Amino acid sequence: MRHTLSIIVADQPGELSRIVGLFSARGFNIETISVGETLDPRWSRVTIVTRGDDRTIEQIVKQCERLARVREVHDVTTRPHIEREMALITVEASAGAARQEVLSLVNVFRAKVVDISHSQLIVEASGNKEKVDTFIELLRPIGITDITRTGHIAINRLATVEERNGDEYLLRQGRES
């Protein structure tokens, strides 16, 4: 099963490679990885999409928690959550039917044209993995020449009061520590 792990790690040189190295050394798989600042710039959030049964995921979480500069690890997938990824796609489409087809897909998927030339377009799409995958599949027959994807970021939904309190607690931790 696919899991999205959110790892809060000190923003220091070498810490990302510690996490990535742990995955390769222990034979865990990384489908996508993305890294960015948290509310507190001293801490980074590493979002890793991985696959495994419950025991494997538990091992991954525990092994990441052993790292001295990792503050917390949680499996976003265990609770309702929102996932997003962005793709920049270069499509071969000169003026005419092909370009019209691209533009209508862009419209349907609420994507954006971010660059254009006589023969090509670059479109920006974001959404969950399935949406981006579908968009790419529909563009493929028209002629994709390049794709760059960000990998997932994810965040838990604002659900019950208790859970929201939990989130605020984490934010407070991030700010104070």
Q: Which stretch binds another protein (CB under 8 A): 44-52, 68-76, 83-91, 106-114?
A: 68-76
Query: What's the burial of 69, exposed, middle or buried (CB within 10 Å: 0-12/13-18/19+)?
Result: middle
- According to the binding rule CB under 8 A, does residue 173 interact with another protein? yes
Sketch the per residue contact string, 109 through 148, with another protein: x for CB under 8 A, - otherwise. Answer: ----------------------------------------
Would you say 32 and 151 are in contact if contact means Cβ atoms under 8 Å apart?
Answer: yes
- Give least dist CB 68 to another protein, A: 4
- According to the binding rule CB under 8 A, does residue 12 interact with another protein? yes
Look up tokens 């971010």; give the residue. Answer: 114
Tokens of 121: 């377009």
Partner residues linked to 116 by β-bridges: 121
**What interhelical angle do 97-108 and 129-143 show, nearest 10?**
180
Partner residues linked to 115 by β-bridges: 122
Would you say 5 and 62 are in contact if contact means Cβ atoms under 8 Å apart?
Answer: no
Q: Which of 31, 72, 92, 124 binds another protein (CB under 8 A)?
A: 72
Query: Rounded to the nearest 5°, which phi and psi values hold at 55?
Result: -70, -40
Look up tokens 């997932």; give the residue. Answer: 152
Q: Which of 16, 23, 34, 71 binds another protein (CB under 8 A)?
A: 71
Sketch the per residue contact string, 20 through 59, with another protein: x for CB under 8 A, - otherwise. Answer: -xx--x----------------xx-----------x--xx
- According to the binding rule CB under 8 A, does residue 175 interact with another protein? no
Under the rule (CB under 8 A), what is the footprint of another protein?
10-14, 17-18, 21-22, 25, 42-43, 55, 58-59, 61-63, 65-74, 173, 177
